Amino acid sequence: MAKLPILHFPDPRLRTRAKPVSVVDDNIRQLAEDMLETMYDAPGIGLAATQVNQHIRLLVLDISEDKSAPMVFINPVITPLTQDCVPYEEGCLSVPGSYDEVQRPARIRVEALDRNGKPFTLETDGLLAVCLQHEVDHLDGKLFVDYLSPLKRQRIKTKLEKLQKQRA
């Protein structure tokens, strides 16, 4: 397994729309394992392939307290099951140190393939629903900051650009 570099906002590669995975093979499974290692090390609870500069429809999650429930979603498709939206304070490994409230559908259905290419369907709410929607947004080239006001988004961008310059 290997830790992968995570792209940071405002890197334009984060705006790339991911392509569907055509074959679930050992390369895809290895990428999923590497993404899980990267996510745990960061530390985070979700990571989309786009964030590690792999523009395919693959994401990993683990919302357990003890990192014991890794989940892999290949070619996920989300369907909201309610018009009701709930606020949730979100952060992102690609937008380090920034958190803000985002409104998302409270209950969703996700259809995807697992790490072996087997189709499955999951209906969920709460933190898992929020994380899935957040990570699928990444696969569509969207970040949680896109839900914020232009002023808040610009402040975050300026702060992260300044931090990147200090590190260089």
- Is 5 a member of any domain? no
Q: Cα 13 to the chain's mean position, in Å?
A: 14
How many domains in the chain? 1
134 appears as a binding residue in the annotation:
yes
Name the residue range of residue 23's domain: 12-167
Closest CA to 151 of 105, 100, 90: 100
Q: CA 57, CA 59: separation in Å to the nearest integer?
A: 7
pLDDT at site 168: 73
Considering the entire predicted model, what is its pTM? Answer: 0.95
- Is 33 a member of any domain? yes
What is the block-wise mean pLDDT of the chain (168 residues), using blocks of 10 residues? Answer: 92 98 98 98 97 98 96 98 95 95 97 98 97 98 96 93 83
Catalytic residues: 135
92 appears as a binding residue in the annotation:
yes
Q: CA 56, CA 61: separation in Å to the nearest integer?
A: 16
Q: CA 127, CA 88: separation in Å to the nearest integer?
A: 8
- Is 37 a member of any domain? yes
- Is 2 a member of any domain? no
- Is 77 a member of any domain? yes
**Which segments of 1-73 does DSSP mark as H helices, in order?**
26-41
pLDDT at site 97: 92
138 appears as a binding residue in the annotation:
yes
- Which of helix, strand or coil describes residue 61? strand
* CATH classification of the domain holding 53: 3.90.45.10
- Is 1 a member of any domain? no
